[in-house]
Amino acid sequence: MTIDLYSLPVTKVSGVKGKKPEELLALGITSVGELLDYYPFRYEDYTLRDLTQVKDGDKITVQAKIAGVPQVQMYGRMKSRMSCKIVVDGLFITAVWFNRHYLKDKLSAGSEIILTGKWVQKRMSLTVTEAEFPGRGTSQIGTLQPVYSVGGSITQKWFRQTMKQALLQFGEMIPEVLPAELLRKYDLLPRKQAVSLLHLPGSMEQGQRARRRMVYEELFLFQLKMQAYRALHHQRADGVAHPVDLPGVRSFVRSLPFALTESQKNVLAEILHDLQQNYAMNRLLQGDVGAGKTVVAAASLFAVVKAGYQGALMAPTEILAEQHKRSLDRLFEPYGIQTALLTGSLTGKQRREVLASLQMGLTDIIVGTHALIQEDVFFRNLGLVVTDEQHRFGVQQRSILRRKGLNPDVLTMTATPIPRTLAITAFGDMDVSTLRELPKGRKPVKTYAVGHDMLERVLGFIRREVAAGRQAYVICPLIEESEKLDVQNAIDVHAQLQYAFPEYKVGLLHGRMTPGEKDEVMREFSAGRVQVLVSTTVIEVGVDVPNATLMVVYDADRFGLSQLHQLRGRVGRGEHQSYCVLIADPKNEVGKERMKVMTQTNDGFEIARRDLELRGPGDFFGTKQSGVPDFRVADMVTDFEIMEQARDDAAEMVRRPDFWTGAGYASLREYLQRERIFDNDLMD
């Protein structure tokens, strides 16, 4: 019979009593299984070292013989320095103790001692932190000691002891979760051995090997959850199978002012295929800035409307919603497709009218901000939701729609490319379509990083572009002057530029303006009546004014790489050569690194990869609710190859019919059960 270690209370480990169970609870440990899963985050190295191999400053442990009489110098009553000659491997060195002169009597010449401390190469001395006399009690010498994240009254020593005890009592009962074929394929340690070695490795190599096994397991189980979820989602078959009029969509595409890129064609085909299936599409569309995601979304919406359903397009800001509404109207005009705009600034009678015609089905496509699907909005038959933003269309939104009796297809478009590892993690439950190329004829934006002393030249640059009939953006990190931050603010810069260019119109845009004001400025800029637009990052995502050819970013070192790339993506959208000028403090190291990346490449996928490296997964999306899990052992950046492998393995596994029934996979199915993957309510 196997015992479930996760339902075995941690008090079964001898020594866990009194206040200890409660203190372990604070670490999230209630069961034996959870205790054993509490891994160290590093090891203290007490393995004996060869003095000829160590470097200055290394923390080392050596076995020595006392070779002299300890010399003590007192500084006041408590402070002291004691030194003593010792021999290590036939080498004479000096051991130094601070404030530990009471040990003096124990250091008798000729006796053996084991010392741990910091090696000072120059003086051939060891500054001792721990001393041990052989043969007395348990020794940590010659071992790697695990270091756990513990606190309060739980000490490392007690925790190590308790872990040892737990391994002794229950180590043999740790069950395997991975199928034998995977263990063989990657030469992975069995689970019980890996857990035991993670806590008590004999060497760093063993620790590494144990870690590799646990990293694979963690990533594989995570990916299995995602892949199983996807497979079940498809099987549920409770979505709308749109009768898509393919020739109709084709002729719509032909009516566009340009030919689709190969990438756009492929991605559209993937989407149209999904739309015709009887499961609800859950697809991520990613592509570099300017790759042309909007038109793909438009063609998809067109297909759904022609199939007799309604569509919704959600944008992150009102400015973008308005822009989308205008471009959809332009495209759909000849087809008699009715669109409407629903944003927070729409109120009263107008709002009621929009809602009524949506509910009656007079409106085919509704464009707006997130509020679109969350409030008192009812559809006649919603078939497709497109979200144009970086954040995923979450469980919550889906369940709101479900409650309204709707289960539409969902297409989520990301604003910037996502590194592959992040895509398969944060969006692992979705199907992913990627636009890999930009429309032909795009000239890469020329990017320059300059210091603040170049401002005069930057002004000259703006003048030159505007005089040639082009337009410019100037981005500032702040809206108005701040006492705390010494960075440019939009209000001051706007005043300066208007003063510098009296013959042109300089616009101002920031988040504290009313939606109406913002919209007004944006419309003036789009129409070319405003030549220079000073803005905060509200402009960041999606704005499309092809005549704008210059992007100036003040205090560019205050922005992340993906954000800078997104800002740069506002130019280079038309036929003219475009430029991006990043004004940054050359003394800021982090900023310098980013400026280097920005001037080196225009490739959004490459920039995303570097951004992930520089910032780490948690910060990449700029939000903690990004869907990126906190892995216990795995590191998404350094373990990316294992992550990809695990993803492929998991995807392959759920495709096998015997995975869902075979005895060899029972432990994996139990895991999925525990993670409530089969639970319908949580299936979103």
| Stretch of 31-39, 287-295, 472-480, 486-494 contacting ligand ADP, by CB under 6 A | 287-295
Distance between CA atoms of residues 55 and 544, nearest Å: 58
Beta carbons of 67 and 194 less than 8 angstroms apart = no
Among 117, 290, 428, 507, binds ligand ADP (CB under 6 A): 290
Site pattern 293..332 for ligand ADP (x: CB under 6 A): xxx-------------------------------------
Looking up tokens 């809206």 gives 479
Q: Is the four-CA dihedral 606, 611, 613, 616 of positive or negative sign?
A: negative
Of 499, 510, 514, the C-alpha closest to 536 is: 510
Q: Least separation, in Å, of the C-beta of 607 and ligand ADP? A: 14
- Over the window 275 to 294, marking each residue x when it contacts Mg ion by CB under 5 A and - when it does not, the resulting string is -------------------x
Write each residue from 337 to 366 as x if it is in contact with ligand ADP (CB under 6 A), else as -, in one continuous string.
------------------------------
Distance CA 478, CA 166 (A): 55
**Beta partners for residue 341, in sequence order:** 367
20 contact choice in Mg ion, ligand ADP, none (CB below 5 to 8 Å, kind-dependent): none
CB of 404 to ligand ADP, least distance (A): 29
**Residue 542 C-beta: closest distance to Mg ion, Å:** 4
Q: Hey, which residues between 568 and 607 contact ligand ADP (CB under 6 A)?
A: 569, 573
State yes or no: residue 542 binds Mg ion (CB under 5 A): yes
Tell me if 214 sits within 8 A of 190, measured CB to CB.
no
- Identify the residue among 31, 143, 206, 264 touching ligand ADP (CB under 6 A): 264
| Phi-psi map region of 528: left, alpha, beta (phi>0 left; psi -120 to 50 alpha) | left
Smallest distance from ligand ADP to CB 524, Å: 19
Beta bridge partners of 339: 365
Place of tokens 């490739």: 603
Segment interacting with ligand ADP, rule: CB under 6 A, options 45-53, 112-120, 159-167, 253-261:
253-261
Which tokens go with 29?
Answer: 């440990």
Comparing CB distances to ligand ADP, the nearer of 4 and 333 is 333
**Distance from C-alpha of 537 to C-alpha of 596, rounded to nearest angstrom:** 21
Pairing of strands 532-535, 506-509: parallel
Footprint on residues 524-543 left by ligand ADP (CB under 6 A): 542
Closer by beta carbon to Mg ion, 206 or else 294: 294
The nearer residue to Mg ion, 10 or 435, going by C-beta atoms, is 435
Nearer to Mg ion, 286 or 310 (CB): 286
Residue 477 or 542: the one with the smaller Cβ distance to Mg ion is: 542
- CA atoms of 400 and 313, how far apart (whole Å): 16
Name which of ligand ADP, Mg ion, none residue 524 binds, using a CB cut-off of 5 to 8 Å depending on partner kind.
Answer: none
The Cα 247–Cα 166 span in angstroms is 67
Give the shortest CB-327-to-ligand ADP separation in angstroms.
7
Among 45, 245, 492, 544, binds ligand ADP (CB under 6 A): 544
Q: Give the integer Cα–Cα distance in Å for 105 and 514.
A: 80
Residue 264 binds which one of ligand ADP, Mg ion, none, with CB within 5 to 8 A depending on kind? ligand ADP
Return d(Cα 156, Cα 149) in angstroms, integer.
8
Q: Which does 289 bind (CB under 5 to 8 A by kind): Mg ion, ligand ADP, none?
A: ligand ADP
Helix, strand, coil proportions of the chain in percent (round to 5)? 45, 20, 40
Q: Give the residue from 607, 619, 616 showing the smallest Cα distance to 640.
A: 616
The DSSP symbol for 430 reads: S
| By the rule CB under 5 A, 417 interacts with Mg ion | no
Q: Is 381 in contact with 361 (CB distance < 8 Å)? A: yes
Which member of 361, 394, 528, 546 binds ligand ADP (CB under 6 A)? 546
Residue facing ligand ADP at closest CB distance:
292
> Under the rule (CB under 5 A), what is the footprint of Mg ion?
294, 542
> Under the rule (CB under 6 A), what is the footprint of ligand ADP?
258, 260-261, 264, 287, 289-295, 439, 542, 544, 546, 569, 573
